[in-house]
Amino acid sequence: MPVTQLETDYLIVGCGAVGMAFADVLLQETDANIVIVDKHHKPGGHWNDAYSFVTLHQPSAFYGVSSHELSTGRKDLVGLNQGLHELASGDEVLAYFDQVMKHTFLPSGRVQYYPMCAYQGDGRFSSMLSDTEYSVKVNNKIIDGTYFKTSVPATHTPNFEIESGVNFVPLNALPNTHSPQDGYVVVGGGKTGIDACLWLLQNQVNPDDITWIMPRDAWWIDRQNTQPTREFFQHSIGAQVAQLEAMATAKTLDELFEKLENSGVLLRLDPTVKPSMFHGATVSQAEAALLRKIKNVVRHGRVTRLGLNDIQFNGVTIPTTPNTLHIDCSARAVPITEQYPVFEGNTITVQTVRSYQPVFSAAFIAHIEANYDDEAIKNDLCKVVPLPNHDVDWLVGAAAQMQNQYRWSQEPGLRDWLIENRLDGFTALVQQTDEATPEQLALLGKMKALVPDVIANIPTLMAQAMQQHQRYATQA
């Protein structure tokens, strides 16, 4: 079968949120041509596989592509997100990306989109439905928009043994459950575990009928502190000041997290259980209060075997029944630990340059690609902020993000781009002081005054964090 030859300036592998955000900036800031390849049948990446009741867990204003609003600007009037800016549903996100592709990308005449295609590397890809193959001559760069390899329950293979006949489903199947069960066992303590528990609780399941298997407790971000508008300034910028104050004054990691919790920066499920995980999950205080109604939280580590009548851990067994519904939430959303230079020859590997904000990071990296030529300068501006896993990664990410923010502040033109880019969120609140009240100006002044003390104290805390990382590695 002959190979179809294509030519383009940029080949983007992956048409999820990251690939779309990158392509959008290229279209705005360059005259480049783009080929986008993706294995799904429509734009949106992992959102195509997500459970039907999924929503964003941060405001819609921070998500999507730079040139098109996803948010309507509304705040939720009811529900667990009441009073906070809206969270787009999975269906809304998919429809949004489909509209961006159909009404912006393709009509530009500069984008060629190849869905249902598998990328083989070296500019080659093939149709998943036929024997059609393509080879692309790439004039500028290949963009790897698949680095995060986002895992969702529907496509995840559990890493524990499952006895034949066990009533075990991904949380995608919950809305199709139409009869009472002996009970409900949620396997996993991350964001999907949170979503499964909230779905059950909001659909009249008694909290006492839910068993939540929690291999590791996690620190959560209070969603109130992620709101993008000036009316939430005291919460959003106030939380940033509080975390700087904690980083400037804490002598130990335990003291750091105590200060972060007491000031409302972080939340946890149980005040008597010390979390050892941080993935950046964001919840409202109402959601946290509802989750705390679940009292049967199992903390025996990871499941090793799921049987008809028992659930096994390392050295511990708990009972279950054949008519108990076991819900798989064990996939880690972003199961990646490796880091690479963002810019390396003819390849750009999109990674986070701001903590747990891959879409903003993609747009920012695209802006740097479009406006800078020197690879060393590009990588200096796009230093990777490691993806969080353990609790101490909150500090590692915060320190790396602060270094990036300082570097960006020294670069002519970047400040204006950040202020104007809707995916950034907070730079405009901090920089547009002519709109600030005296109380807000006082907060900004305190933020600036804390920086020298943070810089002086961070080495002590980071040394402790590295020691804790070594202990975690030994325990793994």
Position 220 scores a pLDDT of 98
Q: Is 25 exposed, middle or buried, given 0-12, 13-18 or 19+ CB atoms closer than 10 A? A: buried
> Alpha-carbon distance 27 to 71, whole Å?
21
CB 433 within 8 A of CB 448: no
CA distance to 135, 246, 443, 457, 465, per residue, from 450 (Å): 54, 10, 11, 11, 21
Position 241 scores a pLDDT of 97
* pLDDT tens profile 74-98: 999 999 999 999 999 999 999 999 9
In this prediction, residue 335 has a pLDDT band, given cuts at 50, 70 and 90, of: low
In this prediction, residue 150 has a pLDDT band, given cuts at 50, 70 and 90, of: low
CB 49 within 8 A of CB 23: no
CA distance to 64, 111, 326, 358, 387, per residue, from 361 (Å): 12, 21, 36, 5, 12
Cβ-proximal residues to 323 (8 Å cutoff; 6+ apart), any chain: 167, 181, 182
* pLDDT tens profile 103-149: 999 999 999 999 999 999 999 999 999 999 999 999 999 999 998 87
The whole-chain average pLDDT of the chain stands at: 94
CB 381 within 8 A of CB 38: no
Position 154 scores a pLDDT of 64
Position 337 scores a pLDDT of 67
pTM, two decimals, is 0.95
* pLDDT tens profile 30-55: 999 999 999 999 999 999 999 999 99
Cβ-proximal residues to 218 (8 Å cutoff; 6+ apart), any chain: 189, 190, 268, 269, 275, 277, 278, 279, 281
Cβ-proximal residues to 285 (8 Å cutoff; 6+ apart), any chain: 222, 224, 267
In this prediction, residue 431 has a pLDDT band, given cuts at 50, 70 and 90, of: confident
CB 85 within 8 A of CB 229: yes
Would you state the structure tokens that stand for residue 6, as one six-digit string? 């294509």
Domains of the chain in start order, with CATH, are 3-150+334-391 (3.40.50.720), 153-219+268-328 (3.50.50.60)
Position 476 scores a pLDDT of 67
Position 338 scores a pLDDT of 82
In this prediction, residue 426 has a pLDDT band, given cuts at 50, 70 and 90, of: confident
